[in-house]
Amino acid sequence: MTSRPPGRRSRAACLRGLVTCGVFGGLLAAAAALPAVGTAGLTVNDVAATVLDLPPSPRENPLPQRTVLLDRHGRKFAQFYSQNRTIVPLDRVAPVMRSAIVAIEDSRFYEHGGLDIKGTLRALVTNTRAGEVRQGGSSLTQQLVKNILVENAESDTERAQARAPSLKRKITELRYALAMEKKYTKDEILERYLNIAYFGAGAFGVQAAAQRFFSVPAARLTLPQAAALAGAVRTPYATDPSLGDQRRRRLRERRDIVLERMAQLSLVTRAEADAARRSPLRLNMRPEPGGCDGSRYPYFCLYVHRELLTNPVFGHSRAERERRLTRGGVVLRTTLDPDVQRAAERAIAGRVDPEDTEVAAEAMVEPGTGRIRAMAASKLYGRNPGDSGDGPRTTYNLVADTAHGGGQGFQAGSTFKVFTLATALSQGWRFDQGFMTPGRFVPASGFTDCAGRRVDDPGTEIHNAGGEGRGGPQSLSTGTWKSVNIFYMMLEQAVGLCPVVETARALGIVRADGAPLREVPTFTLGVNEMDPVTVAAAFAAFGARGRYCRPVAIVELVERDGRSVLVPPSCAQAVERDVADAVNHLLAGVFTKGTMAGQGIGRPAAGKTGTNNGYTSAWFAGHTPDLAAAVSVGDIRGSYRYPLRDVVIGGSYYGQVQGASLPGPIWVASMTAALRDTPPTPFHRPDMRRFGGGHTPGMAEALARERERLRKRERWEWFWRHRRHDRFFHRDHHRDRFFR
């Protein structure tokens, strides 16, 4: 029989005799503090073998952190998270906070090796006498392990097992704790604990808790604040100050317990502890809303959110992208410009009320980069009481397409004429070239879609609007400035429907609902439903001399480890530079000679009104070389059922809403304010050798008649202006002339 050194006992004998043999005695002491559950089937030998055969330390998955959205100046405007947490190193946590958490949770933390036998027994006695949990029975390392196992759980069952008050779970926890003590220093363990612990009020980790409870970073916590947070860890729900006065009183009681313990351990003086106990909590609760409902710029936030979930650039699968959004701790630098955003918001708010069923929406995009600088709408974002869809709030992103949280959009109207114009110019048409237009037009022949199918529509009759019903000679210039429907139908017929559609596609045009474009004869009149972001990006391409850039809201993604991923513009030359210059030249005339005459922005600008058949919706889209914008207006209840006729919007009555009557002024006001501090940039002059001149049948005669009409009007105006000054003088003067 093998002899054993004197004074030594086997592991089994040590446990059977309940001898306090280092770790084993401590384990039994800890077990004594547990309810008598879950111990069936565990023998002493099983316990001994389990403790001594240590596993590796538990797997530590990256902790969920906030994903933060920053504007172009680096200011936060939204965040997403499954757990409100910002990880900080230990040197960015106030020393008094470190002392407070150690004092109340594990005062011998820096002395034991993962299991504190004395501390466990002391906590058992203290808590039994008090009839409540006043001191922690587990070491900080054990608590860290428990939190890690809970975080690693992938199901409710696994989470329940990680929290189960059983001896088996306690042994597992202890084994991992001892392994972690071998792997990390004490400060590294404390740092991990402070970042994983839940403090209540939705705050995970000490940094989020300090900001949530007191609106300060963890590095600036005072003694009373640190004691309050340390006291909250043990019972975060019972001391949650966001849940009412009773919980706040409980939090203060816990704070005072921590202060007393710190004084007992000489971590603070008795005088300091007493002074802190006399002070009120002085909570300064800072909301930490997650998602877009609480964002200052909800429509832009929603666009970024959907872009992250749908764009493969940010992850191979939707599940991966979703995890990255809610758990990744990523910083997203966006294209949002707060000054431009405010300009759009104020321009809309000054003309359309949130309570109106008619809604206005605007997107502003930077030419040459596609960066979305602003997204604004007349309605507030969020749910209405009773889920009313036509109240002051909406859950649709009114500025974007369905892929980015938007609705079906509105027909874009005559803004689509720009694609026919660009196609004609690229095919060699000149500014003064055109047709003798009739008073009505039936698209009965000459229209073929891009699949080669005839799409003629002999049952449709096209008329002009705005006093152009009689027909007559129209050129590219006059037809554009006056937005003559019949001229543009004839022009589309002449240049080809498919080339026009291809021009629109090259400029990023897709339907708001994601369906294929309707390739029909009235394509040039804007029968496809669109969203402002898409239309603004298309017009921005003309501001960039034909260079189209896909709309982008994110410019940089910074990973939690500091690695940066830049998101460059995605651009292509969609239209020839010379053609874009010619388009800009004609669209600039809309402000001086056309439907927006007298509504300029004090710098070179180009644009196009859009008024739909029956006034179902109205648009204005335009650009400078520095900024482009598109504004839509329609009824949120349904544009076809509720046309924009005889309506009161923003307190003003409109017999009918046209592109120049409401969207146009919104565009002018927003662009004027947005570009206030930007020096004007002129458009490039068009190549008149290529685009100047041209011939329109009957145009010379029409111009001669117009000049004669203007001369007669000027003569009569002169006569009546002078006659009003002295009618008797004029009477006598003409009488004398008559009698001479």
Q: Residue ranges per domain, the chain?
A: 84-278, 410-550+570-667+682-691, 710-739
Which pLDDT score, from 0 to 100, does residue 155 have? 79
Q: Identify the three-state secondary structure at position 680.
A: coil
Q: Which long-range contacts (CB under 8 A, 24 or more apart) does 311-318 make?
A: 313/567, 314/557
Task: Give DSSP secondary structure letters for 107-174.
Answer: TTTTTSSS--HHHHHHHHHHHHHHTS--S-SS-HHHHHHHHHHHHH--SHHHHHHHH---HHHHHHHH
Which has the closest alpha carbon to 210: 64, 304, 93, 305? 93
Q: What is the pLDDT of residue 662?
A: 97
User: Closest Cα to residue 434, out of 488, 474, 375?
Assistant: 474
Query: For residue 488, how far is the Cα from the chain centroid?
Result: 38
Question: Which portions of the chain are predicted below pLDDT 70?
Answer: 1-53, 116-137, 386-389, 466-470, 700, 702-710, 713-714, 717-740
| pLDDT per position as a tens digit, 538-574 | 999 999 999 999 999 999 999 888 899 899 999 999 9
Q: What's the length of the chain?
A: 740
Tell whether domain 410-550+570-667+682-691 is in CATH 3.40.710.10. Answer: yes
Q: Residues 688-719: pLDDT tens digits?
A: 999 998 888 877 676 666 566 657 766 776 66
pLDDT of residue 709: 65
658: tokens are 């046209």
> Residue 329 has what pLDDT?
85
Element (H, E) at 332: strand 331-334
Taking the CA atoms of 487, 512, 409 and 538 in sequence, report the sign of the dihedral they define.
negative
CA distances from 414 to 233, 440, 525, 607 (A): 62, 17, 5, 11
| 120 within 8 A of 177, measured Cβ to Cβ | no
- Top-level class of domain 84-278: mainly alpha
Cα torsion 226, 231, 234, 235 to 10°: value is: -120
* Whole-number Å distance between alpha carbons of 564 and 373: 22
Interacting residues of 639 by C-beta distance below 8 A, sequence separation 6+: 410, 411, 612, 616, 617
- What tokens were used for 64? 């969920």
Q: What is the pLDDT of residue 287?
A: 85
Residue 110 pLDDT: 93
Q: By C-alpha distance, which of 421, 552, 546 is closest to 495?
A: 421
Rounded Cα gap, residues 88 and 560, in angstroms: 11
pLDDT of residue 718: 65
What pLDDT does 41 receive? 45
Helix, coil or strand: residue 360: strand
Q: How many Å apart are CA 170 and CA 149, to the nearest integer?
A: 12
* Main-chain dihedrals φ then ψ at residue 298, nearest 5 degrees: -65, -35
pLDDT recorded at residue 9: 37
Rg (CA), the chain: 37
Which residues fall within 8 angstroms of residue 707, CB to CB, at 6 or more apart?
Answer: none
Distance in angstroms (rounded) separating the CA atoms of residues 587 and 417: 11
Taking each helix axis as running N to C, give the angle between helix 497-506 and helix 417-426, from 0 to 180 degrees, rounded to the nearest 10: 110
Nearest-angstrom CA–CA distance, 193 and 148: 9
Q: Which residue reads 């922690």 in tokens?
A: 136
Query: What does the pLDDT read at residue 730?
Result: 47
State the pTM of this model: 0.81
Token pair for 199: 């403090």
Closest CA to 418 of 375, 476, 366, 493: 476
